[in-house]
Structure 1
Amino acid sequence: MLQTVGEWLWWERLWLPANVSWSDLEDSEGRVYAKASQLYAALPCALCLLLVRYVFERYLATPLADAWGIRDRIRQTAEPNPTLENYFSHQARLPSQADVRSLCKKTSWSERSIQVWFRRRRNQERPGLRKRFCEASWRCSFYFFAFVSGVLALYDKPWLYNLKEVWAGFPKQSMLQSQYWYYLLEMGFYLSLLLSLTFDVKRKDFREQVIHHIATLTLLSFSWISNYIRIGTLVMAVHDSADILLEGAKVFNYAKWHQTADAMFVVFTVLFMATRLVIFPFWLIHCTWVYPMEQFPPFFGYYFFNVMLVVLQMLHLYWAFLISRMVYKFIFAKLEGDDRSDEEEYDSDSQREINPKLSHINGAGARDRASGH
């Protein structure tokens, strides 16, 4: 049975155009091709990146946070109460009004006291400002390094300037060392993000992030095996360019350099819209939909690869909507929170009125509204 499944999984018509077999992609005459077994290297690479991230956040980001005076807000802890703790842990973090009244009878507390208890208990599990700063610093540094690596791997390649060159001689295109390391670095990073989602700052678009990371890893793996490497490197470089500015804007926002963060966010918005809503769909997806048809008839891999690109584009549209809504508030109204962030809650509305800038101090704001991956 396993042999049958393996034969079906590696059936050439799933991965390769007609009249092309796996034997055609064996190393020969100085040509080196990507191999599926090389994808296993992504896991140790992801583990190494997690270690590098730990060292970076502990010995670089944390001292930088100290130097810039970034402090976590002092939180009031919830009073120990086994009944409320059991409800919070096993039923819901935000009780309905009917459940609040039921809990009042069980604890002899007032509704107001129970509501305050749940607010404080939720705040206890929310990440502090320093953790957000360290995470944003790490992602900003990685995206910058990855984008520079992508530029170095692509700047002298003809397919960067003429997209038809992406398919010249496909799929018999020799893999370059720069492409190998660029792919390995990106796959390791997105796998590390998937592994760290459970202890990273959790946002309201958590499910979209999971879909994005899985779709990205699927795309990279498929493009590697099917030798769609040239278009793969272009897609990665386009995505990394805007992410640098997004994470950089978050870093400066947490450090209270609001004018710098605002300026970076404006540039990020323009770049995001240009790369994700113009270049990606009308250049890169057009390149994968139209140009291959000029050289070979469509096959399963052709449809699969393009469908996955469309999934990414749908996520881009979702994040573009969040960004557009935030830009509208940025221009026409005061921004007081993050559409995605799991924000700090307050015991009364008067606390926000006393200091309306608390949302900025706690890291919420315009710069932190879209993942932009």
Structure 2
Amino acid sequence: MTDALLTLEGLTKAYPGVVANDTVSFAIKPGEVHALLGENGAGKSTLVKTIYGLVKPDSGRMVLNGQGFAPANPRAARAAGVAMVFQHFSLFEALSVAENIALGMDDPPGQRTLSARIREVSRAYGLPLDPDRLVGDLSAGERQRVEIVRCLLQNPKLLIMDEPTSVLTPQEVEILFHTLRKLAEEGTSILYISHKLEEIRSLCEDATVLRLGKVVGTCDPREKTASELAEMMVGSALHVPERTGGEAGPVLLEVTGLSLPAPNEFGTSLRDISFKLNSGEVLGIGGVAGNGQDELIAALSGETLSAPGSVTLETRDISRLRPDARRGLGLLSAPEERLGHSAAPGMSLTENALLTGEIRENLSANGFIRWGKARDFAARIIEAFDVRTPSTETAAGALSGGNLQKFV
């Protein structure tokens, strides 16, 4: 490990009832694209937050460029040459590309100089950006370019990428991979997190696999099949479930001529959308992020009300019903944004379960909350979906992204 850019030695981080990272050790070489693999709740998020200065480990140490590395915060990590592109972008839609990039820099240059540098770096790495465009007018792929260019302007030695292709088109994925390969050729190390195993096999030359907070294996992913990588992650052989046949039942949900204006100047309007969902069916709705999926979910869940007759559930018109009334009828949604939308991060799992299940689970009576029943409901969810948490009283924001998604 003497030639490593970054070495992790026995990193351990525990939360009440959960060991997120258990004596994790591995190394990342200069110019290497290194995959970090693991199931939801395996400890990936905690580990990269430790590297980036967001989490302080309980024990163990890190060595960066031969020197002890213990960043107190992200600013210290950036100063040492570590940059990170998060899965969920931290951008202000009402500001320009240059203004957003300046906000993410510790010591930004003047506007004219910064704009010139943005154009220079974005062209050099095949990520063309107009510094003067509003972020709200950009596609998801272009917004990711803003995050990447913001990192590249700081000349990082290590770039952490967390699920970077989740909102990209196949063409944008190719552009991203070209950029990452160019960075690696120039000596930048990349720590790459993704559940898309074929992408891992295509891009990465080394991989560390986490399971329940521990390193359970390392490999060259190019020499493994996607199935073999998945088995390393879960610890057992995987079997594709059989598709079960069966005839569809009666129409359960029907959308007829649904049209809504964009919720804001950066949103997407819905125009004459119609479809039917039968009982027992799974209906997929495809499209690149930012093309109306969020607006459609809002219209179906009741966050946005639509014209009478546009949304019916079991022949009942629910177009003007609010979310709590729709939940009472059995229509529930799991929005994309987990923290703040699907769940209240500062509230316990019991409290979050209460917010959703009060009506259908009969969690209140005569104006009083039945806390015992609410805790039992949360406990059933935790057991049924293998949510890894110490208790029902854990704050939703303390869960890993994958475990919170399962709870939602």
TM-score range, shorter chain: under 0.3
TM-score, normalising length: structure 1 = 0.23
Greater per-residue strand proportion? 2
Mark the structure with the bigger radius of gyration. Answer: 1
TM-score, normalising length: structure 2 = 0.22
